[in-house]
Structure 1
């Protein structure tokens, strides 16, 4: 994993441990009877209504490169656990890891044809995916990746009248209220901004009463990472991130980076953009790079409005010492998950995971994820 996606030891370890958790939780749910059918009340005297759950058939799972072990397993294991067969379409950026995931099931004794694996050239992606979606045997698609690609997959699936589960991009905000632990909030926000994943922190919405204190703490945290730079997946990603930074700087944002030296077009320093406003592309676009924007807000209501005005709705965080106020605010946010006094980056095998709006629909994870890949059938027995 480290050699293929150029991640550090910590990220590789997280990928392994979360994958093990996913396998164990899925096994637990199957033995706990969470997918059992039911016998509802029916009106005709002496009749019985039986509601069965059954697998859909063939599931197409499309996994990305950025957390290749966990996300490939996630694309396969829930459909497989409830009785489907799966086609795993791997990424050309992490082919060995995705091939390894597909091979695990063969080594575990699954029959040939239960878990299938496909790779292709990047330029062939539209044709290959469209062909698979149109095939009558394929009953559902799950996709984790960018919003533009997810939209294209949803359009193709819609034409074929097939359901999709989409976990897409996010413009994830960390809200810092004036009674927050500023040190912890700054540390979590900066750490959350350095990951190349959908849940990464892009914006910090800070109440004006404490924005200067937060800036100072964030600068201190940045200085502790002096010289740090993070590898992006390629020159196109670097150019996209640089365009967002340049646009913000040209429109009045002050820029502070972990290093001024860039010797590799794939490396990006941690970049803090202050005074982000609505004229800047960074307020709306997912950065998917080690960047963090600061927005000063008058109060929590303004922060909620900024979050909900976004096209995205994947993850969010709220920092405050008032847990009840945080819970009330969390319920108002149009995002799939809210983390109180923690980072926007958090997922567990026991929880549902997914977004709203252009961050997708449907849920991976736990019993919610299993139910995505079954259908119900009703049988009514009369005397």
Structure 2
């Protein structure tokens, strides 16, 4: 879009979500909201009561709950949990209507879509307000928490996606799967995730201090930052590389985070006598994260959702840390092989191990690719870029009806 430095492109935006506002969803919410505000747009966030994406937990924990009562809700048997999600439309509807009554100048509702959530689109249609949905979940894809009321979820989702003004997907593959499942939906664009350079810059002192603290001096450090959960496969990566670390004494792994598989991995590392070469930090404070990233020379993402856009990929690249990642379609959309990172065949963790071992021997190449990765993020994949695309999209779809499948996929 053509930028105007004096007049904001929109006056006021309502950002609605039903997440806990933590971990990755919190990063995305803050990224979009802050980038809009930087352009002079007033942004108000309406969410589940108590779910504040700006109230970060004291420690980096991808699974930390926002409120005690959310723990109870998420532990309900699946049918009851889904009925609670459906019932939340009443709460969301009341909160949104109350907000709109106080803010008649809203020009756009932007919602992070959640299953069974339809009331925002219904209200927007009745009020004649444009509403754009950011799609990160769908009844049409495999989910970690399987659906019990899948048929109902799909019918509600179909209506919601047809009646929104526009849709934002994080990958072309995700868009195409949802489109195939529903056959017709609102105009859509693809916007991968992002990272702000100023949030991922560090000093040489931070690097030196962290490397000294964890005994990383003189080593090439391959990092991981995120949840220890089965679908990220960091546990399987450790098991596969363990026997080969003896042949690479220059290499150390710095694994940051915790989760369901952490204790098992920690025991394995200790039992194998690898504590000096596989450093497990566990849960760390947010203040420690920049220094930990600064200590890394390359990073590995052993696995990810095949339709998702991993936020950590962009954060590593923003730090100038060249990533080694699976060749899922969404990653191919943003990673240039040999220029901004490297890819291995998704699901082949032995190939991931081979790539880490091979790349760790060439410090000059790591520096070159890391610099190119950071330059790419700076130029094309900061949250500001996403918001500029969103504003252009809003102007193009405000008065556009939903399109048949053959047209919607072209966005």
TM-score (norm 1): 0.36
Is the strand fraction higher in 1 or 2?
1
Q: Greater share of helix residues, 1 or 2?
A: 2
